[in-house]
Every structure is written in structure tokens, then in C-alpha cells.
Structure 1
């Protein structure tokens, strides 16, 4: 029996967004490799470069991840010298995460997403890019609204 060609549907928004996100992650990983950072670590540092002293819970919400997974990530980053943890002075149960000097020296990487965007949006006009972001933001909001109301 001849095998059928497995072509995914060209109009599946979830598949296309997921595949594009995977390409963005690959590009980001390539750009971060010389700095010995993973995309997930870069996201944590990106938050800390904007506001140092963020709780693990806040990082988890920002990253749309489980608190336990982010806690393990932060533990690995602390061992690698990227962050330091301290108990909150307001709530001893809350752990705050701070960027180390080593991390601060890499703060020029905070806008690395613009380089990834430039690759993904090559050949797009400014209007095309603005329209794409607008449409994706609307689709994201539609999904959130549906989940919230059902």
C-alpha cells in the first residue's frame, strides 16, 4: 500500500502559530548560544532587566508556566551565577529574584527579540507587520475571552 503524503492543513491557525513560535525559539536559541543562555533563562533575565527583585510567582505568571518549573529554572540560574534569591522583607514565604552583575553585563540582549522578529518578518512591509501583530493580538484576546466565559 502506498503511503499518503502527510501535508498539514494550511489554514490551521494553531499549527501555524505553533510552528512559527518554534522557529522563533530556534532562532533565539542560536543567538543566545554564544552567551550560554537558554531562551527560558533569557526571558527571566528580560524581566529582571526591567524590574529587579521579582517573585518566582510573578515570573511564573509572566512566563505562563507552573511556579514549580520556574522555581527549578531559577535554581539552575542561581547555580550558574545569573541570579540571586532572597526572601521578601514583606513576606518571608515569598522568594525574590535579582539579576547578578554577570546578568547585568548581558542586558544588551534585552532587545534580542527584535532581531528574531526581523528574520521572521523579512520582506514584510511596516503595514504588513503592524497588521499581523494586530490580528494575532485579536486572535489571542478572542481565545482568552472564550476561555474566561466558558
Structure 2
């Protein structure tokens, strides 16, 4: 089978280019795409556990702990011990994190618009449906 006919290759090739583009857009803010995924999930008022966060961004908990530690050092995330389960932490955006999230939302929207500029709104919706189906088919195997 020819490489350009293998779905996994095409998705990986596209992912690499999109990630590189997104990384460049976030660099002036000293943020990575992975850190943005955390910022996009967390809130300043509503607690999120590390487990919930790991599930939301589809990463293992040990990776999330390292990422949270990095964002905590930057003053973007607050980690507070859960009152009912001392082994668990509640995560919140700090005021600095809330401000950064607000500042980055238009940057992220513009990056999304840039990478999807050759697709119609319907094609973007179709792409999401197809990618979700592909994800579901491999999620069961991992």
C-alpha cells in the first residue's frame, strides 16, 4: 500500500504541521499546545481534579502532574488539596491564568481559522465526526 494512501500517515503528517504552527502562535506567550489544553479545561471558580483533567485532555495522570507542576511554577494554576480526599488535588486557574486564557482565546481561534481556511463549515463538522470515529476505533485497542 502506498504511504500517501495510509490514513495514519496522512493524519500524523497533518498533526505535525498543525502542532508546529500552533506552537509558533503560542510561543510569544511562553505556552505550549499541551499547556493550552490544560488552560482551556480549567476554570477560576470551578474545581477540576487531576483525574478529570487527565481524562479531558486524554493524557495519563503522571504526565498531567508534571504539566500542572510547570504551570504552577509559572503562577498560572493553583493546586489545592481536596478537603474530602487528601490524596486528591483540586485545580483552578489563578488570576494570572484566567487573564492568560482570555488573552489566548482569540489567538487559538485565529489559529483554528487559519488551519481550516480551505474547508467549509460543513467540511469542518464532517472532519470532526470522522476523526471522532477513527479515535473511537483505536481507543478501544489502547
1:77 corresponds to: 71
State the structure with more CA Rg.
Answer: 1
Please tell me the root mean square deviation across aligned C-alpha atoms, in Å.
2.2
For residue 43 of structure 2, give the secondary structure of its aligned residue in structure 1. Answer: helix
How far has the Cα of 1:24 moved from its partner?
Answer: 2.0
Structure-2 separation of matches of 1:51 and 1:11: 47
Tell me the TM-score normalized by structure 2: 0.84
Structure 1 residues 11-50: aligned runs within 5 Å: 11-49=5-43
Q: Is the 8 A contact 1:52 1:99 kept in 2?
A: no
Which stretch shows the higher mean deviation, 79-88 or 62-71? 62-71
Which string of whole-angstrom CA distances, capped at 9 and with x for unpartnered residues, describes residues 63-121 of structure 1?
22221111111111111111111101121110111111111112222464432322222
Structure-2 separation of matches of 1:142 and 1:110: 31
Correspondence for 2:124 among 129, 132, 137: 129
Structure-2 separation of matches of 1:92 and 1:75: 18
Residue ranges of structure 1 left out of the alignment (5+ in a row): 1-7
How far has the Cα of 1:51 moved from its partner?
Answer: 6.6
1:3 corresponds to: none
How far has the Cα of 1:127 moved from its partner?
Answer: 2.6
Tell me the TM-score normalized by structure 1: 0.80
Q: Is the 8 A contact 1:24 1:116 kept in 2?
A: no
1:63 corresponds to: 57
Structure-2 separation of matches of 1:67 and 1:98: 17
